[in-house]
Amino acid sequence: DGGITQSPKYLFRKEGQNVTLSCEQNLNHDAMYWYRQDPGQGLRLIYYSQIVNDFQKGDIAEGYSVSREKKESFPLTVTSAQKNPTAFYLCASTSTPPGQENYGYTFGSGTRLTVV
Amino acid sequence: QQQVKQSPQSLIVQKGGISIINCAYENTAFDYFPWYQQFPGKGPALLIAIRPDVSEKKEGRFTISFNKSAKQFSLHIMDSQPGDSATYFCAARPGGYNKLIFGAGTRLAVHP
């Protein structure tokens, strides 16, 4: 079955440590995204990538880094510079060009990161 | 302004009732408005979407109403069922950009 796999589902880290969240898709989608979800704040865009070896900052990129070395993979690193990293992180992808009807994302099931 | 304002934050509806969630925006360059449904512990899933040249779109019990002049759009869930209990997000796509801006979400509870 095609889809997006995020791992792990739950992740615990000590304050001051960097941590990398995995996102893999087998949908052959060009564009991939990372969103952060906090209660009452909706989904906020961290980074997105339109093609391999290229990515753009979203609205809350500070304290995060990404890479896009392969079409299938878009890992997110939460660095120690991120002031409040505890959140639910969602990865998404799309193959539909912006102008097309039924444009939409396919989301993974998320990773819940808790920093203690 | 790249914001989508969603209300209410939470909503309780009796089974069989109509659930209504509203969103408003300022940026007239938004060109596509989808709604997503999210169950606990899962990623959101596309529910229904509308373009600004259409005033209403219906899919089963779900209807989007779009008011371009007021820069508002809403989701109506007819004959609401307990299985509709979830968090709903409206979103908007800035024209020419391959990304979505999401509202803050509405937690819907449908009581039997």
B11-52 confidence digits (pLDDT tens): 999 999 999 999 999 988 898 999 999 999 899 999 999 988
Say what the pLDDT of residue B76 is: 98
Q: What mean pLDDT comes out for the span B54-62?
A: 95
Say what the pLDDT of residue A57 is: 96
Given an 8 Å threshold on Cβ–Cβ distance, is A110 in contact with B42? yes
Strand-pair partners of A114: A12
- For residue A109, which residues of chain B lie inside 8 Å, CB to CB? 41-43
Is pLDDT at B1 greater than 60 in this prediction? Answer: no
Contact status, residue A25 vs residue A78, Cβ threshold 8 Å = no
Instruction: Tell me phi and psi for residue A58, to 5 degrees.
Output: -95, -150
Say what the pLDDT of residue B98 is: 84
Say what the pLDDT of residue A100 is: 64
Check whether the bond before B8 is cis (ω within 30° of 0): yes
Percent of chain A's residues with pLDDT above 90? 77
Question: How confident is the model over A9-50, as pLDDT tens digits?
Answer: 999 999 889 999 999 999 999 999 999 999 878 899 999 999
Map A11-37 to HEC letters: EEECCCCCEEEEEEECCCCCEEEEEEE
- How far is A91 from A87, CA to CA, in rounded Å? 13
Is pLDDT at A1 greater than 90 in this prediction? Answer: no
Say what the pLDDT of residue B96 is: 79
Q: What mean pLDDT comes out for the span B81-108?
A: 93
Query: What tokens were used for B107?
Result: 């937690």
Say what the pLDDT of residue A36 is: 96
Question: How confident is the model over B89-101, as pLDDT tens digits?
Answer: 999 998 878 889 9
Compute the CA torsion angle B24, B26, B28, B34 (nearest 10 deg): -30
Q: What mean pLDDT comes out for the span B80-92?
A: 97
Question: How confident is the model over A51-104, as pLDDT tens digits?
Answer: 999 999 999 999 999 999 999 999 999 998 888 999 999 999 998 665 566 678
Given an 8 Å threshold on Cβ–Cβ distance, is B99 in contact with A97? no
Higher pLDDT pick, A16 / B83: B83
Q: At CB < 8 Å, which residues of chain A contact B?
A: 4, 31, 33, 35, 40-45, 48, 50, 58-59, 90, 92, 94, 97-98, 101-105, 107-110
Say what the pLDDT of residue A32 is: 96
Say what the pLDDT of residue B41 is: 87
